[in-house]
Structure 1
Amino acid sequence: MKQYTLIATAAMGLEALVAKEVRDLGYDCTVDNGKVIFKGDAAAICRTNLWLRTADRIKILVGEFKATTFEELFQQTKAIPWGDYLPENAEFPVVGKSVKSKLFSVPDCQSIVKKAVVEKMKEHYGISSSWLDENGAKFKIEVALLKDVAQITIDASGAGLHKRGYRASQGEAPLKETLAASLVLLTNWNPSKPFVDPFCGSGTIPIEAALIGQNIAPGFNREFVSEGWEWIGQDAWNRARDEVEGLANYDQPLDIAGFDVDHRMIGIAKENAFEAGLGELIQFKQMQVADFTTQKEYGVIVGNPPYGERLGDRPDVEKMYKEMGKAFSDLDTWSIYMLTSHEGFENLYGKKATKKRKLFNGFIKTDLYQYWGKRPPKKG
């Protein structure tokens, strides 16, 4: 079975989580800034696209070489066995980026790579015309230059992996599904414990928790660009989807709730949960965090509250952080995880975090404040 070098791209700060997911699927990997690199066959392309909750996309590395001139870039790109990947009528747009490299003009690099692939394809398929039809399956090629080293990859995901296919509607600043899943995986939650998101917005964190709780692959409900590639084949995708269906635990009971002060967001969250097939499993309710009470023990609270990024919003946000601290003050058996960019969060909340972890919500630098509750007594 032919082995490929695969790259799972990751948001900054989430590389270790992506690496754990890759290893859990049975692939050894190495971690670099913004990516996890591993070897796998065609089945691995299917499985990682379907299963990875925290990665942004899957790419196939088809070439890596030093290039300080356009001639080097052209010749080395042309040397790649493009006929192994691209059919005669492939549609292959080329995108690019360049950082700290002599070849700094991205449009020129894209043009050179495109020309090199065309020349190689014409040789491989014996095409005499000056152009290719490009009316077949899509293969998005990327040329990425970093310190004069060119990496040529093909995107095997299509739409980013955060696009799960369940988001019917969203609010103003929706949390990416990959980050929401990461927040759940960074906690000590398991499906036997209560789970609450007091700022649920469009429901992303509770939905991702439910998918994790029932071991439902995040990509079960969507399509991938590489499903149209003949050299992977429909059989490999069918086997990967059969595995997904076989490992899902739809009978796992869950106690997951999402609250939000905005009744419109509760309506959107319910709609998204039903779209994901989880409508009966998650309880959504309009409520402000100051009113939260519970008699349950050993639960987990995960929230992405407003940050007060706009100065006009800051007084209300700071008041809400204080109210949250009071509402949660007696929950000593609960573990609480809050993501915010507000540097004064601990003072306002009234308690120093057990641990802080730096994460990026899009381009916003945030901290995940972690408050670990008491552990339940050991059984027996």
Structure 2
Amino acid sequence: MGPIELIATCPMGLEAVVDRELKELGYTERKVENGRITFKADKLAICRTNLWLRSADRILIKMGEFKALTFDDLFEGTKALNWSEWISADGEFPVEGRSHKSQLSSVPACQGIVKKAVVDSLKQTYNREWFPETGARYVIEISLLHDLATLTLDTTGPSLHKRGYRKLVTEAPLKETLAASMIMLSRWRPERPLYDPFCGSGTIPVEAAMIGWNLAPGLRRSFPAEHWPVMGSSLWEDAREEAYDLVKDDVPLEIIGSDIDEKAIEVAKASARSAGFAKELQWHVRSVSDIKPRGDYGCIITNPPYGERLGDRADVEKLLRRLGSICQSLDTWSAFILSPSKQLEHYWGKPADKRRKLYNGRIEVALYQYFGPLPPRNRLQNNSPT
């Protein structure tokens, strides 16, 4: 098997973050598009990217792409692809689909055509008329956009934001992938303090701890491609062994989360324990007016409650103004605030150094970035583990 074309999908606005992660993993042939990054790699990359990517949603195998104006086009184009290279004779292969601005607009009809074409293709290889579909699961997706059909296999299963450590959630929880992206877009490093004054279920502090210890976020979960015979168990074993070898659990962390909701803090503590950070993270039941970030050159990274959650815009304004006042009193600190409010800069009395448009679920938000000074180089060197 030669090079494989893979697709890392992600929410709009996070493409550059995922692209940077892929670059750091050593994958050089990449193409950035809206909501996805296509890259070429080998089978081991399926394991490594599922284990390591913090900001992506899924890793897909790109089986093929072709113009499909008619159902015959879709059938013949799908049948011509080498499905038996991946799908075993007993494999279960459901078909999911979506269509946008294409002549073939009936998604159920397209799913049926693709299913029939894949069966016909497998018949030629396995020389059988019926497939039990009792084995490993291979989810096929047909995506039609402007009459261009893209066929993929899903290696991930449930989205990569489902790390496995969060058993309980608070109201309107922040996805792990978005929390990790906020941290990666900040200037935070493990040597610096981090404070989240609206921590909710603790996602930002836990994700920061995982980054600080270089802990691969997918280590605690499984993936459908682990059960594919074509992959082989040794690939996954090698990728997991590499990830465990790279953990830096001797790095000291100064990460604090606080929230006015006592139940939220209990949920946060449970998430931290499940993720393996029971003793490394600090939690406080505290209103934003009472927070006391300590140390120098720290980062406040947070997702304040929205109007939809508080039910009162005046309360939102009060919280944001108070947070802005506290942040501006911390001379050496930086602040990274995720909010849908168009008035945040007004409430803070100063424009953000940088704004980035993102989406928290279906809510359009902005990451307001206020950059404080970076720590002196000798400080970072002195605090770095040897």
In the superposition, the TM-score normalised over structure 1's length comes to 0.97
> What displacement does 1:378 show?
4.2
Aligned partner of 1:14 in structure 2 is 14
Change (3 A) 1:295 1:141: closer
**1:328 and 2:321 matched:** no
What is residue 23 of structure 1 aligned with on the other side? 23
Worse-matched range after superposition: 289-298 or 329-338: 289-298
- 1:91 matched to which residue of 2? 92
RMSD across aligned positions (CA):
1.2
Aligned counterparts of 2:175 and 2:284: Cα–Cα separation in 1: 22
1:206-355 alignment, distance < 5 Å: 206-309=205-308, 312-355=311-354
The one-letter code of the counterpart of 1:371 is Y
Give, in whole Å, the separation in 2 of the partners of 1:379 and 1:247.
25
Contact 2:63 2:153 in 1 (8 A): yes
TM-score, structure 2 normalization:
0.96
Q: Distance in 2 between matches of 1:177 and 1:284?
A: 18
Q: CA deviation at 1:3?
A: 1.6
Q: CA deviation at 1:309?
A: 3.2
Amino acid at match of 1:79: A
Code of the aligned partner of 1:26 = G
The match for 1:5 is 5
The CA distance in 2 between the partners of 1:32 and 1:184, in whole Å, is 23
Greater CA deviation, 311-320 or 154-163?
A: 311-320
Q: CA deviation at 1:290?
A: 1.0
Higher mean C-alpha displacement, 116-125 vs 157-166:
116-125
Deviation at 1:334? Answer: 0.1
1:379 CA displacement: 2.8
8 Å Cα contact 1:65-1:76 kept in structure 2: yes
Map Cα deviations across residues 142-171 of structure 1 (whole Å, 9 max, x no partner).
Answer: 000111110000000011100000001001
1:294 and 1:378 map into 2 onto residues whose CA distance is: 22
Distance 1:371-1:66 versus aligned 2 partners, 3 A rule: same
Asked if the contact 1:195/1:257 (under 8 Å) is kept, the reply is yes
Residue aligning to 1:42: 43
Q: For the Cα contact (< 8 Å) 1:55–1:161, is it kept in 2?
A: yes
Segment of structure 1 superposing worse, 161-170 or 367-376? 367-376
Distance 2:275 2:377 in 1: 35
2:175 alignment partner in structure 1: 176
Tell me which moved more, 320-329 or 336-345. 320-329
What is the SS of the residue equivalent to 1:212?
helix
- 1:358 is displaced (CA, Å) by 0.7
Instruction: Write the letter of the residue equivalent to 1:275.
Output: S
Runs of 4+ in 1 over 6 A off after TM superposition: none
Instruction: Write the mapping of 1:123-162 to structure 2, written as runs, cut at 5 A.
Output: 123-128=124-129, 131-162=130-161
C-alpha separation in 1, matches of 2:337 and 2:186: 11
Point out where structure 2 has 5 or more consecutive residues left out of the alignment: 380-386
Q: Deviations over 1:233-280 (max 9, x none)?
A: 100000000000000101111100000010000000000010001111
Contact 1:318 1:348 in 2 (8 A): yes
User: Does the Cα contact within 8 Å between 1:290 and 1:326 map onto a contact in 2?
Assistant: no
Gaps of 5+ in 1: none
**Alignment partner, residue 79 of structure 1:** 80
Matched residue of 2:39: which SS?
A: strand
Separation (CA, whole Å) in 1 of partners of 2:182 and 2:346: 22
For residues 105-149 of structure 1, give each alpha carbon's deviation from its aligned partner in whole angstroms, at most 9, with x where no partner exists.
Answer: 111000000000111112211113xx3211100000000011111
Q: Secondary structure at the residue paired with 2:66?
A: strand
Structure 1 residues 311 and 161, CA, compared in 2 at 3 Å: closer, same or farther?
closer
Output one character per residue of 1:210-237: Cα deviation in whole Å (capped at 9) or x when no partner. 0000000000110011000011110000
Q: Residues 76 and 378 of structure 1: is their aligned pair in 2 closer, same or farther, counting only changes over 3 Å?
A: closer
Distance in 2 separating the partners of 1:124 and 1:368: 51
Q: Give me the whole-angstrom Cα distance separating, in 2, the residues matched to 1:312 and 1:162.
A: 27
> Which amino acid letter does the alignment assign opposite residue 175 of structure 2?
K
Contact preservation (8 Å) 2:195, 2:293: no
Letter in 2 for 1:220: L
Provide the rounded CA distance (Å) in 1 between the counterparts of 2:253 and 2:267.
21
Rounded Cα–Cα distance in structure 2 between residues aligned with 1:211 and 1:311: 30
Q: CA deviation at 1:375?
A: 2.7
Q: 1:312 to 1:46 in 2, by over 3 A?
A: closer
Bigger shift: residues 269-278 or 288-297: 288-297
- The letter for the 2-side match of 1:5 is E
Q: In structure 1, give the amino acid aligned to 2:269.
A: K
Q: How many residues align?
A: 378
Instruction: State the secondary structure of the residue aligned to 1:347.
Output: helix
Q: Is contact 1:95-1:110 (8 Å) kept? A: yes
Partner of 2:383: none
